[in-house]
Amino acid sequence: MLTAFTQAFRTPDLRKKLLFTLGIIVVYRVGTHVPIPGVDYRVVQECVSQTSGSQGLFGLVNLFSGGALLQITIFALGILPYITASIILQLLTVVIPRLEALKKEGQAGTAKITQYTRYLTVALAILQGTGLVATARSGALFSGCSAASSIVPDRSIFITVLMVITITAGTAVVMWLGELITDRGIGNGMSILMFISIAATFPSALWAIKKQGTLAGGWIEFGAVILVGLVMVGLVVFVEQAQRRIPVQYAKRMIGRRSYGGTSTYIPLKVNQAGVIPVIFASSLLYIPALIAQFSGGNSSWKTWIEQNLTKGDHPIYISLYFLLIVFFAFFYVSISFNPDEVADNMKQYGGFVPGIRAGRPTAQYLSYVLTRITWPGSLYLGVIALVPTIALVGFGATNNFPFGGTSILIIVGVGLETVRQIESQLQQRHYEGFLR
């Protein structure tokens, strides 16, 4: 990997792309420290130092914003509205025929869906920004801080609207920065910004573990966490790279005087076909009851039950529901993102077949069978990885900011592997040596 980066900086074109990407990253990180108007920054810093951060959905958004949410800055929502909009559009593509037709139109249809994603991102930013401002005004953003209710001193309509507009504009700028990286930099811009947001929280979380440690000044706990992180990264890399290759043989076809086909290839089916999306879905769904209970008045029995069972990450009911939801959403997302019938029809149309399997419906049934078999270990792997922070809390008494959580490790490893893969492919294009020298 280091060799690939060294060779990339020696290539002028790739060097410009890498430096441009680094410049956008610097702009993004600066924006995560610029507070929005109407917020008492001194009180925010006081509450951040007194509490370990909000739990639930606030913790998830804070992870994807690189800590900007709890600082209430212009990039407070980070890249999460765009991620949510992309997932929603991807799900609607299966349901709405118009979106499915656009997806099949190629580049023009993809550009149209991207435009819809931008509009939905802005709409979600307005909705989430309004919720963030309301939460900050009520003091619920920092439940353990006595001065949390005075974070927004001015409660006028003008200041409230100005804060929502600023947060929405900041989300639009983050989306624009990500698209700039995609067009003129290296890798997928949104994924790179997500990678940077999560990686930015690691140093402070690791140092907090060292300060709270008791053995040898905290260095033993610090080293143990680093060792656990390296083992988890190795495990995630191994599983993320694992795939089942379905062999495909194409028959020869005579078109005019030329012969086409007769080649052998394969269909790669990844063990973790769904990526990190099931973890995000499960987390978001579990936080909805907690949010409803938080903003509802009174002390009803259902509110008490939710607060006792669904707001504590180490509660057995919460752990069980979290694990089952991850497994369910893994199968659900794989079922809508990979269509065995469509793949089998395309293979049959071009004269392809799986050796030993008849073309058409038997091929679709075989692909569905194999996909179900490999999705089971993939979904169980996702559930175990996502529960690592909970296991650390219960078994080792770690802090709530345990850095090597399942979501963060999955995203960092996935984005890192994809970025290095793109750099290596571009290096091969520029240093390819043919038969003639």
Helices within 139-218 (DSSP H only): 157-184, 189-200, 202-212
Residue 118: predicted pLDDT: 92
Q: Three-state DSSP class for 415?
A: helix
Phi and psi at residue 248, to the nearest 5°: -130, 130
DSSP string over 370-385? HHHHHHHHHHHHHHHH
Those residues of the chain that have pLDDT short of 70 are 1-5, 50-61, 143-144, 146-148, 217, 252-262, 290-291, 293-298, 310-314, 389-406, 430-437
Phi and psi at residue 73, to the nearest 5°: -105, 180
Assess contact for 37 and 133: CB atoms under 8 A: no
What pLDDT, in 10s, does the model give residues 312-361? 666 778 888 888 988 998 898 888 888 888 888 888 887 788 888 888 88
Q: Three-state DSSP class for 397?
A: coil
Could you give the domains of the chain? 1-200 (1.10.3370.10), 206-404 (1.10.3370.10)
Residue 435: predicted pLDDT: 43
Residue 437: predicted pLDDT: 45
By the 10 Å C-beta count (0-12 exposed, 13-18 middle, 19+ buried), 219 is classed as exposed
Assess contact for 428 and 9: CB atoms under 8 A: no
Assess contact for 71 and 93: CB atoms under 8 A: no
Angle between the 361-386 and 316-337 helix axes, to the nearest 10 degrees? 150
Residue 1: predicted pLDDT: 58
In total, the chain counts a number of residues equal to 437
Contacts of residues 106-114 at CB distance under 8 Å and 24 or more positions apart, as own/partner, are 113/89
Residue 434: predicted pLDDT: 46
